[in-house]
Chains A and B, each alone.
Chain A
């Protein structure tokens, strides 16, 4: 499982990294004379309504989607583990306040929350990253807090206090590294979701805007031509999104099975 997931992603990443160097087309260059061509040797995935090579656009789209996904998860993970550790360690009112805030955030489906935030901030790439990261934070906060809560009772935190370690050292040097596993597993799953959410936002017109090549943008642009038989305009981009999400999910699931077999 883990291996299959890693292989899928390796293929996708390799294609996105190396592919554009072997292809003569530019993702944004229009060519009206070859518009809406079906897949051929010249254009393996066909061309869109402006005559742009879809394979080129898909490869650039993968780059952007991966970049967005990693930035989202990085931001959500860092903030989540720092806040979660703090909340779990201090407990009491601090913990109550943090938990109620996460409750409110988790009461909205994370995609709807991300939609609301991009609608408010405006849909640029940084704002898409911020919006999705915010909607993922509560999960990382809760996971880390739960681990810290149980680890705090173990002797090493008390022993560290006992020899005069300052609180920040106990929290972030002693407890945090020991409480990281669930958050990291969650992070590998969240990479897949982030791709899905970023494409979803773009598809709805609330995320990355056309003509920037991005998975959701490509599917959205092609959607209107499917009915008239030009299926290649959407299908390849959609398939690549599915492949990436599937890959990250396989990795995340098998990591969870390895680190916490009892939750299978």
Chain B
């Protein structure tokens, strides 16, 4: 395994939000890395803290949220220690994010070409005409046919897939080192989804960026990513290279997750509809949050948090009962 430079290193990140009976811990000692020039998948069910993790990295934590501890190292600075001004220097230049809600992420009253051009003006100080020309070229690179004409369109005149391409063009305009893509294909149909993932891969290769891809689709992870981070109820359960995760899933949650993927060539036992994450879990458990659903639960799982253990090179798991 070649040692690579770490681009993003999140350590023991804990975030709480006010709940009915005191503060609820939404992110509990989250820790993982993103290395240079790789695509990392962040998977987990709804409410597991995937989006909250990325918002915290961007400095977009909603005002009611509070960072209780931890560090987010990007290159050689802790983002949590940066002022808002320093963060706005980082955003767009070095870290960018593609949002879930495709269409509302574009200003409905501005031509899409102008929205992309604005990024070039802000980040590279280009003049109006140069920026516009650059924007049209960027839209073309994103696979938008007839980019010159489309640049003059308003978001409502474009399809969702097209809007997503515009958004990607906007976000990679200044070749950020890290691109966070939060379920970039929600609400798109399957063929367009495939095209968008293809585009993300192409963009990644062209710009040598690292991408943190948030999804709940393990198929996408298998095809697109090099490494995976599995989250459950605000805790990172397992991080591994894609091949070793699929070949050797170690955490009981990951095993259940992989087991639930439907396959054409095999009869799969349909996943039981589990209770899922509920508020009581996040209040009551000091230990492993998967304990209430875990088939291999041990008594001390409820009270002690398992440590992050390495089971094979670059494959980390948090579980008391590794068998």
Contact = CB atoms under 8 A, between A and B. Distances in A.
A156 B110 CA distance: 11
Interface string B92-107: 1100110111101111
A7 interface: no
Interface in A155-208: 155-156, 158-166, 174, 177-178
A261 interface: no
A91 interface: yes
Contacts of A166: 88, 122
A30 to B, nearest CB: 55
A78 interface: no
Select the residue from A91, A92, A155, A162 with max chain B CB neighbours within 10 A.
A162
A162 B104 contact: no
Interface of A: 91-92, 154-156, 158-166, 174, 177-178
18 contacts: A154-B101, A155-B100, A155-B101, A155-B104, A156-B104, A161-B60, A162-B58, A162-B97, A162-B99, A162-B171, A163-B123, A163-B170, A163-B173, A163-B174, A164-B88, A164-B119, A166-B122, A174-B110
Nearest to A159: B105
Contacts of A162: 58, 60, 91-92, 96-97, 99, 171
Given A154-B101, A178-B107, 16 more contacts: A155-B101, A155-B105, A158-B60, A159-B106, A159-B167, A161-B91, A162-B58, A163-B118, A163-B173, A164-B92, A164-B93, A164-B119, A164-B123, A165-B118, A166-B88, A178-B108
A52 B92 CA distance: 70
B248 interface: no
Interface of B: 58, 60, 63, 88-89, 91-93, 96-97, 99-102, 104-110, 118-119, 122-123, 167, 170-171, 173-174
Contacts of B107: 156, 160, 174, 178
Given A155-B104, A177-B109, A163 B122 contact: yes
Contacts of B60: 158, 161-162
B139 to A, nearest CB: 15
Contacts of A159: 99, 105-106, 167, 170-171
B63 A91 contact: yes
B173 A155 contact: no
Contacts of B171: 159, 162-163
Contacts of B123: 163-164
Nearest to A151: B104
A151 to B, nearest CB: 9
Contact of A155 (B58, B99, B110, B174): B99
Contacts of A174: 107, 110
B167 A165 contact: no
